[in-house]
Amino acid sequence: MSSCTNVIRLTADIDSTSRSGLGSIHSEVVGEAKMASKDVEMTGKNDPHNSMNDKRDYEVEEFHSRNAITSFFFWVKSWALPGIGMFCESYFIFSIGNITPIFQETYKDCYKQYKKCDKGLINAETYIQVSGIILGMLLMGYIADQIGRKWGSVLTSCFMFIGGILLTCSTGPTIQGWAIMFAVSQFIFGYGVGGEYPLASSSASERAESNKALRFRRGEMVVCTFTMQGWGNLVNTAVLCALLAIFHQTGNKYNHHALDAVWRISFGLGLIPVTGMLIYRLFFLQESKVWKRQNKPMSVALKEQKVLWYYYWHRLFGCALAWFFWDVSFYGNKLFQSTFIKILSPGASILLTLEWTLLNSFISLIGYYFSAFTVDKPWMGRVRLQSMGFCMVFVLFLCCAAAYDKLVSTPTNLHWFQFLYFMSSFFGQFGPNATTWLLPGEVFPTDIRATCHGISAATGKVGALVAGIWFAYLTNAGKFYVAAFFNLAGLVLTILFVPNLMSLDLREGDRRFDALMAGNPAAYSGDAVHPSNLSLFERMLGVQKYHNADADNKARKQEGIQSAGTISQAH
């Protein structure tokens, strides 16, 4: 409600003071006004349509500001539609772990006893999937910076659609042939998923930035988009539980044909949102205005890469390595989940195992929303949120490691172990799992944003591979010690290399990038080089020496743009 009221006030102010300078303002999401100064077309002082459109938009916004249900619907729409790709990603990707117990019962000769399948192939399936994700992150991130967010999103949707169909219909002349097709299908779907990471984050940041009403809620919108990952995991687990109940597979005796139907139907249901996503992006999705404003010829791409590695390497180092440290911990936690359930419920059925997973997914989902609703608060912000999450998970895992034998020794102590484990899931989402996805979409300029997000995300997935290989050789207590160490390393890295751009206009980063591309860093003296918008390492390098508010105001007048006013609002 407050955001709608602010938009009305903003529209009224502009209507009374700047009517001569504004053209038609079209509402993309009802209750929001597209007020980005560079995107407003100048159509003339005497255009009668200006007054009519301003009045119409004001009345529409005022109506929705008084209607809580409608306001809530459009708020959900603003992040749920952009996040549908993350929903589909987690629905399928996390389901691979969820259906492993089903495969071990349905295809024992292949997944449990390895009589008819190569053990190396089965164990490599996860790595094949992650390899596809990493490749998609790297290639699709770069491609999206060249062809745009819309067509990049369409391309990732196509790979996910094809991969989803192949996963659902996987078959072969032998069970080994089926396993090979299933692995190839995971790679194809994983490639599409990899592209979704840089595209969804970059698009969400730019969508919020192009709307002045949402500019100072950018983090909330981006993280809300990311919460769809949590919903995908939760829904998939719930669907599997429901299907097991429908097919009467709730005990420890199973019908293999019924179990085969369970996982195929779950994938088939997942294809529904994938299909809807592809249709929406192909026919209705609009290109990012921020990307269109900054789009440059392909010939400039090589120079952009040089500027990236010379001026932004420390930001990329901070974002990428923090994601790597977090994914070692996060996927280590996921890998330990089956052991954790066996400790709590020895001999648990497939359904009971999934019910424990469902509870953990629900607790994690709460953490997503805690992140979304605090990430834009002045007392929290990006860096504090990420640092707090790393710190809390470090402490929780250190407690689990130091007292592991005692925690699993008695039923009473198991409850404390359960509490510590679930709290680590909560603070993982209320912290680095959300912020490592958000930050690369903000701290880099538009021209290289998706590329840098893709590199950061791919580095994180390498951490997942490291966890998958390394944790297999560690004791249970050792896994917690290692995960704790990586969280501590992530905390230190965040403090040193990650800037907090909570309220900085993304256009400021683009203005600075233009100066760097011109080979003259001193030509930019705006808010992007204000000390409060720089990392500790950047301040040590002396980047803040370029900041000069008076010089920037003069430059703005020459460029014909308004003052962003971010420092006063954020600091």
Cα–Cα distances (Å) from 39 to 23, 24, 249, 270, 512, in that order, read 10, 11, 57, 37, 19
pLDDT at 65: 52
Average pLDDT of 138-160? 88
Three-class SS of 426-483: HHHHCCHHHHHHHHHHCCCCHHHHHHHHHHHHHHHHHHHHHHHHHHHHCCHHHHHHHH
SS3 320: helix
More confident residue, 420 or 472: 420
Model confidence at 515, pLDDT cuts 50, 70, 90, reads very high
Name the H helices within 345-444: 350-374, 381-402, 404-407, 411-429, 432-438
Tens of pLDDT along 499-514?
999 888 888 999 999 9
Mean of the per-residue pLDDT values of the chain:
83
pLDDT at 69: 75
pLDDT at 212: 65
Model confidence at 294, pLDDT cuts 50, 70, 90, reads low
Structural tokens at position 368:
């997503």
User: CA-based diameter of the chain, in Å?
Assistant: 81
Least confident of 7-21, 287-301, 481-495: 7-21
pTM of the model: 0.81
Cα–Cα distances (Å) from 444 to 97, 239, 392, 437, 510, in that order, read 34, 38, 28, 13, 8
For the chain, the structural domain boundaries read 2-66, 81-497, 506-570
pLDDT at 355: 93
pLDDT at 562: 60
Tens of pLDDT along 190-226?
999 998 888 887 777 777 666 666 667 888 888 998 9
pLDDT at 4: 40
pLDDT at 368: 95
Q: Domain spanning 81-497: which superfamily? A: MFS general substrate transporter like domains (1.20.1250.20)
Tens of pLDDT along 422-440?
999 999 999 999 999 999 9
More confident residue, 204 or 262: 262
Cα–Cα distances (Å) from 320 to 393, 456, 463, 540, 554, in that order, read 19, 4, 10, 20, 36
Share of the chain above pLDDT 70, in %: 83
Least confident of 19-23, 51-55, 464-468: 19-23
Residue recorded with tokens 């500019």: 215
